[in-house]
């Protein structure tokens, strides 16, 4: 008899969460752009590197718009800004509680079915 088990390695990530690493969404987008390369992203967005850099600055009158964000996500494949928004807005306790309440009826029905199968109900 030959029993084989897949070996997997546990990876620990000591990097702080996205909310700890970035002040806001613009900061997160900027980090994503600078990580990939300002010039490369500027070409993708049809901007000069200087203009793109200005758009990513919080004190600049030029702002990085949602359309540019969408284009950046498509071109780069780096969805970190979306993960930032999810972490910021969808991991709130009241949202988790609401989701849990929505799942309760299905869980109770499943539990009743299991109890019948086990002969307990």
The string of pLDDT tens digits covering residues 7-49 is 778 776 677 889 999 999 999 999 999 999 999 999 999 999 9
The string of pLDDT tens digits covering residues 50-74 is 999 999 999 989 999 999 999 999 9
Q: What is the pTM of this model?
A: 0.65
For the chain, give the DSSP string.
Answer: --------------SPPHHHH-SSHHHHHHHHHHHH-HHHHHHHTT--HHHHHHHTSTT-SS---HHHHHHHHHHH---HHHHHHHHHHTS-HHHHHHHHHHHHHHHHHHHHHHHHHTT--
């Amino acid at each position: 008899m030959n029993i084989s088990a897949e070996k997997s390695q546990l990876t620990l990530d000591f990097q702080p969460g996205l909310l700890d690493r970035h002040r806001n969404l613009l900061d997160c987008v900027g980090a994503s752009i600078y990580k990939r390369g300002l010039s490369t992203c500027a070409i993708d967005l049809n901007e000069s590197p200087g203009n793109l850099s200005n758009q990513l600055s919080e004190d600049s009158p030029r702002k990085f718009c949602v359309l540019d964000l969408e284009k950046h996500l498509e071109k780069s494949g780096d969805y970190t800004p979306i993960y930032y928004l999810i972490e910021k807005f969808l991991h709130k306790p009241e949202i988790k509680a609401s989701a849990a309440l929505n799942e309760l009826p299905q869980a109770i029905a499943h539990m009743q079915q299991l109890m019948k199968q086990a002969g307990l109900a």
